[in-house]
Amino acid sequence: MPEWLNDPGPPGGILESMMRLGLAALAGACIGLERERPRRHVGLRTNMLVSLAACLFTLLAFQIAMSAGDDEAGIMADPVRVIEAVTAGVAFIAAGAIIRAGRNTHGVTTAAALWLAGAVGVAFGAGAFVLGGTAVILALIVLAVLKLVERDVLRSKPSHHDGGDRGAD
């Protein structure tokens, strides 16, 4: 059995890892709550799970990299590859949220929110709490506040309800 399976976790120990997982889930919940509106199929639970999974993959990547070290051939474990895989996996899930019907496209903002939830999970997994928290705050501004601006200021543009292609939510 590989030695890293018995390792208690990254520096800071299991409690810090649990805290990072909890914060990632909470951050995903903040993003997902905004997506919980009528006719939105990807919301709270999905964003929480994406952020939580990204955090877990990041924690595991760092744990494996720290435990593996260099081998005789000079090969090192590379946590960046895991982050790349998380990005690809989240992009695959997010692509499923996008629906195109004629000239209208729906779900692009939801897909972007999922992608962000994954990035926030990676940030919390890596211990970049301020960076991840700032991203969540900015996401809420973009998703909630700018939605109001879009509705009120850009009212004269055609919406997805009247044949335009602005239905990219």
| 9 in Cβ contact with 118 (< 8 Å) | no
Instruction: Please calculate the CA angle 92-130-29 and round it to the nearest 5 degrees.
Output: 50
For residue 54, give the nearest of 108, 112, 5, 123 by alpha carbon.
123
Contacts of 79 (CB under 8 A, 6+ apart): 58, 61, 62, 64, 65
pLDDT tens column, 21-69: 999 999 999 999 888 876 666 788 989 999 999 999 989 888 877 776 6
Percent with pLDDT over 70 in the chain: 76
Predicted TM-score of the model (pTM): 0.77
